[in-house]
Amino acid sequence: MDELQEALQDWGLTVHNLPEKGRCLFTTKDFYPGEVIISQEPYVCVPNNSSTESRCDGCFTSVNLKKCSACQVVWYCGSKCQKLEWKLHRLECEVLSKLDKDRRKSVTPSVRLMVKLYLRRKLQNNKTLSATATDNYNLVEMLVAHMKDIDEKQLLLYAQMANLVNLILQWPDINIKEIAENFSKLACNAHTICDSELRPLGTGLYPVVSIINHSCLPNAVLVFEGRLAVVRAVQHIPKGAEVVISYIETAGSTMTRQKALKQQYFFTCTCSRCIKVGQQDDVRESAILEGYRCKDDRCIGFLLRDSDDKGFACQQCGLHRSKEEVKKIAAEIQATSDKASKSVSSGNLQEAISMYKTVEKLQRKLCHPFSISLMQTREKLLKMLMELEDWREALSYCKLTIPVYQSVYPQFHPLLGLQYYTSGKLEWLLGETEDAIRSLTKAVDILRITHGTNSPFMKELIMKLEEARAEASYKLSSKDDE
């Protein structure tokens, strides 16, 4: 712990142990919006390979892949990534190659992550791989497992996975109980590695980043540059303050957020947003995000249950809505959504779009305009329409989501920035240059804080904005010449 504290001093950070929260990361200097607080390479990581999609074990790309000829499990995009991973993969390759074909199919990304965890520990113990204050197995041992909070079914699953890891490694002195405990640690502490547009690519364990606690009103954000985890400040964090990020999707009611945190991370959040549970502002927010709209289309009031529980009353105009009506529309939405989901699974996008448009129409009747479920339906339509290159209609749905994004996310949130980016791209494609400049400018203003400016994604975004401005300037000068 002393070595870690010493290493963190260089970052302007320190670890405190608080009785009610455990280990926390605190600042020993001021951090400002966009400033990197800490970055860390993964202790171990794996791509999200499946039967339908594979990625390079080194850089997570899905282009120009070749399967390792020996183990037939791992993929690489070229010799560079293969060489970088070789010290660890050489051992992994040996143990995976001994498995029969059917057993290899059961080596999921989670099982591979655990196998790599033990192999990396072995290589560091043997001094084949170097260990540092921020990159060693002791940091993994310090992570909380929450074994006492896990139900019997989950414990059994971890035990089965631990037995498979034991079968793969075949080490005489291996501790199966410890492996099961490490699976629990991974469930609570591993991070989903995403690309710059927040699409999941893989899973990684970052033991120092895992010290950072959760808040539903975070002052920092975690993004990835390749496999590198980068934590940036999204507001001024004064010296002596705790660094907090969000573990979950924060666009939801307090009850929804608390449920998600309890199920996956086994704690009750007491951030400044969550302690308002049950208060007037919290009730209003929950009713807007997850409740129903007023029956009068001209009214934007939210509904709460009547005292006799026979229906719902608008808190703005007092208009009543019966429980039966709400149930009927909700049932229609559910049935149509299920059919639409099946159409997506079968690859029939046109049919799915038609059904989701019906869902969206029904949700507009039932849900508040700032409803999360309505926003999610519009998001699905946006993605499918973009896939079919229907740019005009895609843009119309994108524009409908932005006011909700502005409402549910703080000023500097990557998802809000990315939504402006999508809008800007579509506007530019459609020749709406002035609108594209406005949207891309907003995207850059947010994403330079959350993503920095050095990644290929950000360089491309800034270049797009410059090109759009140049195009607008050219159009203006052409008009002046006429």
Question: In this structure, what DSSP letter does residue 148 have?
Answer: G
**Sign of CA pseudo-dihedral 377, 379, 385, 388:** negative
Residue 443 has pLDDT above 70, yes or no: yes
pLDDT at 282: 92
Fold match, 1-42+207-247 / 409-481: no
Residue 474 has pLDDT above 90, yes or no: no
Tell me which H or E stretch contains 13.
Answer: strand 13-18
Residue 20 has pLDDT above 70, yes or no: yes
User: What does the block give as tokens for 298?
Assistant: 């001209």
State pLDDT tens for residues 237-262.
999 999 999 999 999 999 999 999 99
Residue 227 to residues 39, 191, 194, 224, 234, Cα–Cα distance (Å):
10, 11, 9, 6, 21
What residue spans define the domains of the chain? 1-42+207-247, 85-205, 248-286, 292-389, 409-481
pLDDT at 482: 57
Residue 1 has pLDDT above 80, yes or no: no
pLDDT grade, residue 480 (50/70/90)?
A: low
By percentage, how much of the chain surpasses pLDDT 70? 99
Residue 181 has pLDDT above 80, yes or no: yes
pLDDT grade, residue 278 (50/70/90)?
A: confident
Does the pTM of the predicted model rise above 0.75? yes
User: What does the block give as tokens for 285?
Assistant: 């927010």
Residue 142 has pLDDT above 90, yes or no: yes
Average pLDDT of the residues in 280-286: 92
pLDDT at 479: 65
CATH class of residue range 1-42+207-247 = mainly beta
Average pLDDT of the residues in 435-444: 97
The arrangement of secondary structure in 409-481, i.e. its CATH architecture, is Alpha Horseshoe (1.25)
User: Helices (H) and strands (E) in the chain — how many of each?
Assistant: 16, 15
Beta bridge partners, 177, equal none
Residue 345 has pLDDT above 70, yes or no: yes
State pLDDT tens for residues 43-77.
999 999 887 889 999 999 999 999 999 999 999 99
